[in-house]
Amino acid sequence: MDASKPKAKRRAVKGFPLTGAAADEYLRILSASLDRAHLNDFYPPAENVLASLFAMMSTVHKGLYEGVCVHEETGLPAYNEFIRVETDWRNAREELASLEKWKGARGEGIYEKLAAKRAYLEKLLTLPTFFDERMQLFFRKIDPKTRIALFRLVLDRISTTGYLERITVDLGQEASLWGRKNLALDGKDVVHCQDVLSGLIYRFSTLDVEFLFFQLSRQPHLTVERVIKGRVGPFIFRGVAPQGLEAGMARFAGEGHLFTASLNVADVGQAADAENDPFFSEKALSPEARNQLRESREECRYGILRDRKFVTLNAGKEELQRHLDERKTRNVVYDLGAS
């Protein structure tokens, strides 16, 4: 079940263009890195992301687009690139129908361009899906004792800072409607519930997983069991400058490529914290944020898991490994050169 999504406010970020063979090589290495990372279902679906990246290649769009704009902080294609591919895919059948009358026309440059556009749209229709921003609500059950309805809410999105993310929330909603007899779970009640929950998730989706857990837990009639945020990126190479906690990664890319994906979990069922992200540090947070974390942990009683994996290509893998050893983390590091 898809929910309509509000328009997110995106801060202005700088990007840089890649064209021709450089664009295709960039997309090829990014795709290979994403595939090599073996991301699980708590990340944006890799198959969907790979389809979008494939559609951005010049061998597919036949030169209809100059290249690809790269987000300079995340190293991923910019937001508009993903939206353009998705829009082309969704409109492909209608566009092909409108181009039918020009099929076979020759003799002028415009006809060659139209032929290239038809080939591009036909290629898009052979692909099963693309990455798109959407929210899905899955009903799990109604607790017979408490009459609390248990849901899993999954949000796939491009964050306002340019990362691909999947946010998964297991929660319960306590409301009078769940006590009704003969409740139609596929009817308007669930749709209304979805609208309320989706509004909350979008409102707090930019927060770190702990703050997101805390803010949702403070909402009336909600019980939160688990919040998971799987993030794709940054993908670092020359010209990409990550910000925030990821800023320190740039020195390990060297003249090569460094891909990373993080998974952060706040779960009431996790007995002890497991910190396995060598680039996360509470010391980097403001005093106010650290106080909020302490308040959250005391009030909500959850365990934390933070993890990160890496894929390298001609990067400073040995230097990265020394950093992991110093931080005493045990991270998976794949090497594209060895695959």
* Most distant CA pair in the chain, distance: 75
pLDDT at 38: 96
Q: Which of 223, 243, 225 is closest to 233 using CA atoms? A: 243
* Torsion, CA 213, CA 209, CA 207, CA 2, rounded to 10: -80
Other Cβ atoms less than 10 A from the Cβ of 335: the count is 14
Cα 276 to its chain centre, rounded Å, is 20
CA distance 200 to 213: 11
Other Cβ atoms less than 10 A from the Cβ of 235: the count is 25
β-pairing verdict for 134-142 and 148-158: antiparallel
- The domain ranges of the chain are 14-124, 134-338
Contacts of residue 196, defined as CB under 8 A and 6 or more positions apart, other chains included, come to 173
Name beta bridge partners: 260.
310
In tens digits, what is the pLDDT along the chain, a chain of 339 residues? 344 455 555 556 688 999 999 999 999 999 999 999 999 999 999 999 999 999 999 999 988 999 999 999 999 999 999 999 999 999 999 998 888 766 665 656 577 788 888 999 999 999 988 999 988 888 777 777 777 888 888 999 999 999 999 999 998 877 655 555 444 455 444 545 566 677 778 888 888 898 899 888 888 878 899 999 999 999 999 999 999 889 989 999 989 999 999 999 999 988 778 899 999 877 767 778 778 777 877 778 888 999 999 999 999 899 999 999 999 999 999 999 854
**Phi, psi for residue 105 in degrees, rounded to 5:** -70, 140
Q: Which of 46, 42, 223 is closest to 140 using CA atoms? A: 223
How far are the Cα atoms of 65, 85, 87, 190, 258 from residue 69, in angstroms, in the given order?
11, 13, 17, 39, 19
CA distance 26 to 65: 15
Contacts of residue 34, defined as CB under 8 A and 6 or more positions apart, other chains included, come to 46, 49, 50, 53, 232, 259
Q: Which of 236, 213, 198, 171 is closest to 29 using CA atoms? A: 236
